[in-house]
Amino acid sequence: MDLPAEPLPPETPSDERLRPGPDAPIMLIPIGEVDEALIGKTVKPLEEAFHRVVTISKSLPVPKYAFNPTRGQYHSAAILKRVEELRAQEWDAAIGLVDVDLFVPEVPFIFGEADRSTRSAIISLTRLRSESGPSESRREVLTKRLVAEAIHQVGLIRGLAQCPNNRCVMFFSATVQDTDKKGAGFCANCRKRLMSEG
Which residue ranges make up each domain of the chain? 26-197
> Which pTM was predicted?
0.86
**pLDDT (mean) for 115-137:** 90
Answer for the pair 99, 93: CB distance below 8 angstroms, yes or no: no
**Among the ranges given (105-109, 133-137, 139-143), the one the predictor scored with the smallest mean pLDDT:** 133-137
| Nearest residue to 118 via CA among 140, 146, 150, 85 | 85
**pLDDT (mean) for 36-52:** 95
What CATH architecture applies to the domain 26-197?
A: 3-Layer(aba) Sandwich (3.40)
**pLDDT (mean) for 29-46:** 94
**pLDDT (mean) for 30-38:** 92
The string of DSSP letters for 108-174 reads: EEESEEEETTTTEEEEESGGG--SSS-HHHHHHHHHHHHHHHHHHHHHHHTTPPPPS-TTSTTS--S
CA distance 97 to 19: 23
Q: Is the dihedral of CA 134, 176, 124, 190 positive or negative?
A: positive
What's the confidence (pLDDT) of residue 8? 46
What's the confidence (pLDDT) of residue 13? 40
The size of the chain, in residues, is: 198
Question: Does residue 9 or residue 123 have the better pLDDT?
Answer: 123
Query: Hey, is 19 helix, strand or coil?
Result: coil
Question: Does residue 14 or residue 159 have the better pLDDT?
Answer: 159
Encode pLDDT of 7-27 as tens digits. 444 444 433 445 677 789 999
pLDDT exceeding 90 applies to what percent of the chain? 73
Query: How many angstroms separate the first and last alpha carbons of the chain?
Result: 41
| Nearest residue to 122 via CA among 89, 85, 88, 159 | 85
Encode pLDDT of 67-109 as tens digits. 999 999 999 999 999 999 989 888 999 999 999 999 998 889 9
